Amino acid sequence: MQPTFSSSRILLPVRPWFIFLSLIVAALMNFIPTAHWPGVPDWVALVLCFWSVREFRRVGMGWAFILGLLMDVADGAVLGQHCFAYVLLAYTASLLSRRILWFPLAQQALQVLPLLIGTQVIQALMRLAVGSDFPGWSYFIGPFVATLLWIPITFLLLLPQYQPVEQDPNRPI
């Protein structure tokens, strides 16, 4: 049985500067004061998960550690809280990348949901381990919103890689 893909278009290779730019934009979106409202996803976790699935050779645990350290300092959180959660997210996403990419986009989102929930749970457990209060159940709404955003984020982040629809007959690909 052949898998069904939503697009048979061949994608161009991703440019490293675009990956870097998208991760920086995600970090800046986490710096917005509304990022701590219930239901607002962890943008860094979402974009890091996306690139760890799509380009696991370029974006991995090193990027996750650097972004986690940046988020720890920016949030004033327990040092290592975001680092540990993001490194585990990047590792697990890269480990499952072939499996996740096998599915259509809607099912990919369902495959990514446990990864994003696990990231939030690890951060909450690390906060609780140092004596902080339980953040409340609304803290765990963000991964569900991020799962709903998986399809638009995928289209947005893959947009620069799409080849033109018109094909040149003199070009081999």
**Is the pLDDT at 173 greater than 70, yes or no?**
no
Q: Residue 148 domain-assigned?
A: yes
- The pLDDT tens digits of the residues spanning 77-116 come to 788 889 999 999 999 999 999 999 999 999 999 999 999 9
* Res 135: pLDDT: 84
Residue 139 covered by a domain: yes
Question: Which amino acid is it at 135?
Answer: P
User: Which residues, in sequence order, are CB contacts of 37 under 8 Å at separation 6+?
Assistant: none
Distance, CA of 113 to CA of 128 (rounded, Å): 22
**Does residue 101 fall inside a structural domain?**
yes
pLDDT at 165: 60
Instruction: Kindly state the average pLDDT of the residues 33-62.
Output: 90
pLDDT at position 3 is 47
4 within some domain: no
Single pTM value for the model: 0.85
Of 33-47, 57-71, 84-98, 108-122, where does mean pLDDT reach its minimum? 33-47
What is the percent of the chain with per-residue pLDDT over 90, rounded to a whole number? Answer: 61
- As a whole number, mean pLDDT of residues 104-130 equals 93
pLDDT at residue number 160: 84
> Domain for residue 3, yes or no?
no
Query: ∠ CA(150), CA(153), CA(156), 5° rounding?
Result: 150
| Assigned domain for 172 exists | no
Has residue 54 been placed in a domain? Answer: yes
pLDDT tier, 29 (very low <50, low <70, confident <90, very high otherwise)? very high
Structurally, the chain folds into a number of domains equal to: 1
pLDDT attached to residue 80 = 86
Structural domain span for residue 127: 16-31+41-161
Q: Flag the least confident range among 71-75, 89-93, 159-163.
A: 159-163
Residue 7 belongs to a domain? no
